[in-house]
Chains A and B, each alone.
Chain A
Amino acid sequence: MSEAKSLRVAYGEALVELGAANERVVVLDADLAHATMTSLFQAKYPDRFYNFGLAEANMMCAAAGFAHSGLLPFASTFALFGTGRAYEQIRNSVAYVNANVKFGLSHSGLSVGEDGGSHQSVEDIALMRVVPNMTIFVPCDPVETRKAVFAAAEIDGPVYIRVARPVVETITAPDTPFVPGRIVLLREGSDVCILATGLMVKEALKASDALAREGIRAAVADVHTIKPFDSEFVLAAAEKYGRLLTVEEHSVIGGLGSAVAETLAGASAAKFRRLGIRDKFGYSGKPADLFEAFGLTPGHIASECKALVG
């Protein structure tokens, strides 16, 4: 339960495991195999691994060619270069035809850390959310990352798996449900519901612990799928708790906060606040220091909850 592991390592290991079970799986990378950890698959299945060099646009379209040929390509690079540089290739050559391509893109969000703003994708979820046919998974821990990879393989169409770089503790169990498009309630509460995604799920649980010591019971929900979005859960939570907080390591524009706002608009009068990156680029620093600077710590989450409750 408490094994700590980088999500990118979990991603690479899951690909190896999936590759053993499904010989149609091929893995593509753009000279970042040792960062995205597709190198684990490369070592095990060298004949099913294709490096495209520093040419993300070409890789995404070539992945469509593999999918059109009945193979199951997983294409990996950093989140920024996949969703940003190759946006229109994903849009036109992959999603427009619902090509069966999976994108496991790592080094997402501020938690890239020291490499700085040029490498920190704060808008990748927004970019992929507006593309029809796209499914978006944002796993919170190593166990969920593995489930996301296997679930992606079962979906007929493009899937973006947002993979974070840091080593994180496992907070879900192998038998925690992972149904695409279904938010998971990890902790029950009564005063407020925190909807968190990715690395922020663990921070939300810590905030809930702290709030409990002050007599505030904060439910924590793990939003592992951003698209299709579980509006049913959100509307039920709005009804039940009356107070919702979203937390994401992403811009508040276009990500989880937006998805919840779009769901609530005109449908609920629940009190609602968003924590995320407020229309800014990141910069160099240790991930923990950046989370502090951008207001993404358990302390910040707890403060927002208190503001909602008070």
Chain B
Amino acid sequence: MGHDSLDATATRLRRDILKMLYLCQSGHPGGSLSCVEILEGLYYRTMRVDPARPAWEDRDRLVLSKGHACPALYAVLADLGFFPREDLWRLRQVDSHLQGHPDMTKTPGVDVNTGSLGQGLSVAVGLALAAKHKRKDYRVYAVVGDGEVQEGMIWEAAMAASHYKLDNLVVLLDHNGLQIDGPNEEVMGLGDIVAKFSAFGFDCEEVDGHDAEAVAAAAGRRAEGRPRFIRCRTVKGKGVSFMEGAAGWHGKPMNAQEYETAMKELGGGQDV
């Protein structure tokens, strides 16, 4: 479990995530770091997007249903050129377009507002169903958290996705096993989550969620007439030794010493 297993893009994104979180002294490091390669696999290798045209009608859509991980999304969008990288350092400030949770009305490249857990997947179902309705071939990717699947409406959405044969919808679970109050299995066990989505009619697959190529390959596959579910095995706080596997880093700000240590682990230099 070290930074040496991470690719250069992921390391660059993680450094930006840590810097923006350190500067605003709030936000959610653990779940942002765990979904870096999921977003990298999607945005850099799978999705059809154009940073020059964030509202392009035929683009693929990304719904970060676990909206609190938006620092990871913002880092990706800035890296791809949807907006200047300098904007990242104003995260959560009163005059910033980068809100504490994603806001499509403020941030170029954000497709859907999320933050209230459970709702994003249902909006994704609406987007995918609307694509079918309009006979468009774009796809919809929804990244959900493991605590989030405890929300009942996730299963309303799963039922509808299967009922309407949404084979243009891919649900990716960032399964780091931890939520605010502790391990999933102590708070509210998920049981066999793959079997559950399978029983709801999804075509399922499991991948190493820190292998962007594996995520991209799985996300790119299509099952005729069925939505896809990809369980991405991840580590909360991935890339920073003292954050890895620690539920306490769900939403805690770093002090100067912690920030220095974390940046050292990700290649040195603080860049602040």
Residues of A within 8 A of B (CB): 26, 48, 50, 52-53, 55, 57-58, 60-66, 68-71, 88-89, 92-93, 96-98
B122 at the interface (CB under 8 A from A): yes
A26 touches B133 (CB 8 A): yes
Cβ contacts under 8 Å, B51 to chain A: none
CA of A97 to CA of B115 in the docked complex: distance in angstroms?
A: 13
CA of A96 to CA of B133 in the docked complex: distance in angstroms?
A: 25
Q: List 17 A-B contacts (CB under 8 A).
A: A57-B152, A58-B122, A61-B120, A61-B126, A62-B122, A62-B157, A65-B123, A65-B128, A66-B130, A66-B133, A69-B127, A69-B131, A69-B133, A71-B130, A71-B133, A93-B122, A97-B104
- Secondary structure at chain A's binding surface: helix, strand, loop or mixed? helix
Cβ contacts under 8 Å, A50 to chain B: 129, 164
Cβ contacts under 8 Å, B57 to chain A: 70
CA of A80 to CA of B237 in the docked complex: distance in angstroms?
A: 42
Given contacts A65-B129, A70-B130, 18 further A-B contacts (CB under 8 A): A52-B160, A55-B153, A55-B156, A57-B156, A58-B157, A62-B129, A63-B126, A65-B127, A66-B126, A68-B104, A68-B123, A68-B126, A69-B131, A69-B134, A88-B119, A89-B119, A92-B113, A92-B115
A98 touches B105 (CB 8 A): yes
Residues of B within 8 A of A (CB): 57, 103-105, 111-113, 115-116, 118-120, 122-131, 133-134, 152-153, 156-157, 159-160, 163-164
Q: How far is the CB of B156 from chain A (nearest CB, A)?
A: 4
CA of A66 to CA of B157 in the docked complex: distance in angstroms?
A: 14
- Which of B113, B130, B134, B164 lies in contact with A96, CB distance below 8 A? B113
Q: How far is the CB of A26 from chain B (nearest CB, A)?
A: 7
Cβ contacts under 8 Å, A97 to chain B: 103-105, 113
Cβ contacts under 8 Å, A53 to chain B: 159-160, 163
A64 touches B105 (CB 8 A): no
CA of A48 to CA of B133 in the docked complex: distance in angstroms?
A: 8
Cβ contacts under 8 Å, B127 to chain A: 65, 68-69
The 10 closest A-B pairs by CB, nearest first: A65-B126, A61-B122, A62-B126, A69-B130, A58-B156, A55-B156, A65-B127, A57-B153, A92-B116, A58-B122
CA of A89 to CA of B119 in the docked complex: distance in angstroms?
A: 7
A64 touches B123 (CB 8 A): yes
- Which of A26, A57, A65, A92 lies in contact with B124, CB distance below 8 A? A65
CA of A275 to CA of B127 in the docked complex: distance in angstroms?
A: 44
Cβ contacts under 8 Å, B119 to chain A: 57, 61, 88-89, 92-93
Q: How far is the CB of A20 from chain B (nearest CB, A)?
A: 18
Cβ contacts under 8 Å, B131 to chain A: 69
Q: Check A61/B123 contact, CB under 8 A, given A66-B129, A69-B131.
A: yes
Q: How far is the CB of B148 from chain A (nearest CB, A)?
A: 13
CA of A97 to CA of B119 in the docked complex: distance in angstroms?
A: 13
Cβ contacts under 8 Å, B157 to chain A: 58, 61-62
Q: Which of A58, A64, A69, A98 neighbours the largest number of chain B CB atoms within 10 Å of its CB?
A: A58
Cβ contacts under 8 Å, B134 to chain A: 69-71
Closest to A89 in B: B119
Cβ contacts under 8 Å, B163 to chain A: 53
Q: How far is the CB of B197 from chain A (nearest CB, A)?
A: 16
CA of A55 to CA of B122 in the docked complex: distance in angstroms?
A: 10
Q: Which of B123, B126, B159 neighbours the largest number of chain A CB atoms within 10 Å of its CB?
A: B126
CA of A57 to CA of B123 in the docked complex: distance in angstroms?
A: 10
Cβ contacts under 8 Å, B159 to chain A: 53, 55
Q: How far is the CB of A196 from chain B (nearest CB, A)?
A: 36
Q: How far is the CB of B154 from chain A (nearest CB, A)?
A: 9
Closest to A67 in B: B126
Q: How far is the CB of B122 from chain A (nearest CB, A)?
A: 3
Cβ contacts under 8 Å, A60 to chain B: 122
Cβ contacts under 8 Å, B115 to chain A: 92
Closest to B112 in A: A68
CA of A205 to CA of B57 in the docked complex: distance in angstroms?
A: 51
Closest to A56 in B: B156
A88 touches B123 (CB 8 A): no
Q: How far is the CB of A60 from chain B (nearest CB, A)?
A: 8
Closest to A93 in B: B119
Closest to A92 in B: B116
Closest to A60 in B: B122
Q: How far is the CB of B235 from chain A (nearest CB, A)?
A: 29
Closest to A64 in B: B123
Cβ contacts under 8 Å, B118 to chain A: 57
CA of A143 to CA of B105 in the docked complex: distance in angstroms?
A: 36
Q: How far is the CB of B259 from chain A (nearest CB, A)?
A: 32
Closest to B153 in A: A57
